[in-house]
Amino acid sequence: MKVMAGIQERKKEFKTTVDGIVVDRVYVPDNLPENEMDTSLPGDYPFTRNIMTTGYRTRLWTMRQYAGFATVEETNKRYKYLYQQGQTGFSVAFHLPTQMGYDSDHPLALPEVGRVGVAIDSLQDMEELWDGIPLGEVSTSMTINATAAIILAMYIAAAEKQGVAQNQLMGTVQNDLLKEYVARNTYIFAPEPSMRLTTDICGYCAENMPKWNSISISGYHMREAGATAIQEAAFTLANGIAYVQAMIDRGMAVDSFAPRFSFFFAAFTNLFEEVAKFRALRRVWAKIMKERFNAQNERSVMLKYHVQTGGCTLSEQQPLNNVVRVAIQALAAVLGSCQSLHTNSYDEALALPSEEAVQLALRTQQVIAYESGAADTVDPLGGSYYLEWLTNRIEEGIQEYISTIDRMGGALEAIKRGYIQREIRRSSYNHQKAVDAGEQVVVGVNKYTSDEPLDLELLEIDENVGRRQLERLKKLKSRRDNDKVRQILDRVRQAAGSEGNIMPVLIEAVKAYATVGEISDALRDVFGEYKEPSVL
């Protein structure tokens, strides 16, 4: 590149992010040699530009805000509010006890009841969560993993009570345990029994729920834990490979389940890196499904995914700056052709979002959809020398990691050895050091700081939420047929210890109003509990 005598650049080296890709001054046709040119059209293999031919010109992405707090009463109200404000899909945040298989009356659960999500102990809670919301008409994503089978069973049973058959249900269950051991940490059982439950759900959905995504293979939480964009993409696809292989090992044909596999990624603030990441992800996954697994159905090779803007990019300082970050990140998700999107609220470094903040977050999506023009043509940044080059570099980075993980024996083995955890931890710490040293600027945090405190109206969780939920649970346990519950829990234990699919007995169990904690305990009796190995 031409040396510019006498002209200084701001920095010695420009990078997408701290451990990211080094970016040149300008990109030209020479950066894209013929063997690196991807001239495929939207809707054509390898789907770099979009899985659909017409993209958002046919249908906009689903605007799906992750929400849940306190009891079903408060959360049902929030859902109806979001729906009325133009949200087009639901996304359930469960409180930690539900995610960890404890009822609200468990000693470990008490301080956490209704804090980070809605308290769901039994089918009764699930029924009331959807009161007045027709489950045959909406799509619902549920962020639930270790207890995914129980919660999915409850959703099926609640829909049935509304008169909606399971084969009509639309939505997604996260059901991705591998990333829990790496980043999100809501595992209960060891990797092997977890993998069994995951594949039970995928198998059950493949046979009974044709409109339901049986898994949402998630990079989001690894990114939040500190992964770079390339690491997020690579480790997620490596986990995806492990799930596809596990299903095949259980005797399923790849095209019977893969069309209902879905993904979940983050969008951070480097707009171009994020757009390139989504394009590279679609391309690499298509190649994996076709070349490695010999998938024939086009829907098996299409990467479809949900995006959430980056929670850890939000700052507690000058929280209004977050409005801008979220807008850029959401634009990246849209320019990257996502299927569904959650935009964070600007107050989320401080608390769960207030109604006002979540409305603005939703409005951000609506402004992008209807005013920015980003949804009017498919893959509008495609063909930019820089973006195409960046897409290729990210693809290379992903492939390199996948080869390394393949050599280790796959994602499960790489996780057991702590390899993926260590890689992420290194990136996280490098980022932290760069921010502390001021090398990575975070506006309002380490540059352009101010001491003026901003008083925001934050959402407060009702102090009595624990007591109210405990009363509900106590009433339920006194009213249901407890002999029936005991019998069905025995059958859950038997099913867990045998080869068959566990879903049918779980559906029976939740219909008898056995609780999340009781069913989880029955599974613990058979599978035991997993204790994380020391990480530092």
Partner 1 sequence: MTDKKIRVLIAKPGLDGHDRGAIAVAQGLRDAGMEVIYLGLRLTPEQIAEAAIQEDVDVIGLSCLSGGHLALFSKTMDSFRKRSNKEVIFIGGGIIPKKDVPALKELGIAATFGPGTPISEIAGFIKTELERGSDDSED
Residue from 242, 143, 234, 221 nearest 179 by CA: 221
Asked whether the beta carbons of 94 and 102 are under 8 A apart, the reply is: no
Instruction: Identify which of residues 225 and 229 has a Cβ nearer to partner 1 in the complex.
Output: 225
532 touches partner 1 (CB under 8 A): yes
Query: Please, what is the minimum distance in Å from the beta carbon of residue 110 to partner 1?
Result: 7
Decide if 99 contacts 123 (C-beta within 8 A).
no
- CA-nearest of 259, 260, 274, 254 to 16 is 274
Minimum CB distance to partner 1, residue 183 (Å): 8
Kindly tell me which residue out of 24, 57, 192, 429 binds partner 1, with binding defined by CB under 8 A.
429
Give the residue with the Cβ less far from partner 1, 116 or 328: 116
- Residue 114 CB, nearest distance to partner 1 (Å)? 9
The alpha helices in 384-481, defined as continuous H runs, are 385-408, 411-416, 419-436, 465-479
The interface region with partner 1, picked from 121-129, 246-254, 427-435, 492-500 by CB under 8 A, is: 427-435
Alpha carbon distances (Å) from 158 to 80, 155, 365: 18, 5, 30
Instruction: CB nearer to partner 1: give 4 or 536.
Output: 536
Q: How far is the CB of 191 from partner 1 (least distance, A)?
A: 16
Dihedral (C-alpha) 331, 332, 335, 336: value to the nearest 10 degrees? -150
Q: Are 344 and 361 in contact (CB under 8 A)?
A: yes
Instruction: Decide: 200 and 502 in contact? Cβ < 8 Å.
Output: yes
Helix (H, G, I), strand (E, B) or coil at 34: helix
Q: Using the minimum distance from each CB to partner 1, give the nearer residue, 121 or 395.
A: 121
Dist CA 236 CA 219 (whole Å): 5
CB 453 to partner 1: min, Å: 8
Terminal CA-CA length for the chain: 44
Residues 334-373: x/- map of binding to partner 1 (CB under 8 A)? ---------------xxxx---------------------
CA distance 282 to 412: 23
Residues near partner 1 (CB under 8 A), total:
45
Give the footprint of partner 1 on residues 457-496 (CB under 8 A): 458, 461
Per rule CB under 8 A, is residue 64 in the interface with partner 1?
A: no
Q: Which of 116, 138, 271, 408 binds partner 1 (CB under 8 A)?
A: 116
Which positions lie near partner 1, rule CB under 8 A? 96-97, 99-100, 102, 108-112, 115-116, 180, 184-186, 224-226, 312, 314-317, 349-352, 425, 428-429, 432-433, 435-436, 442, 445-446, 453, 458, 461, 532, 534-536
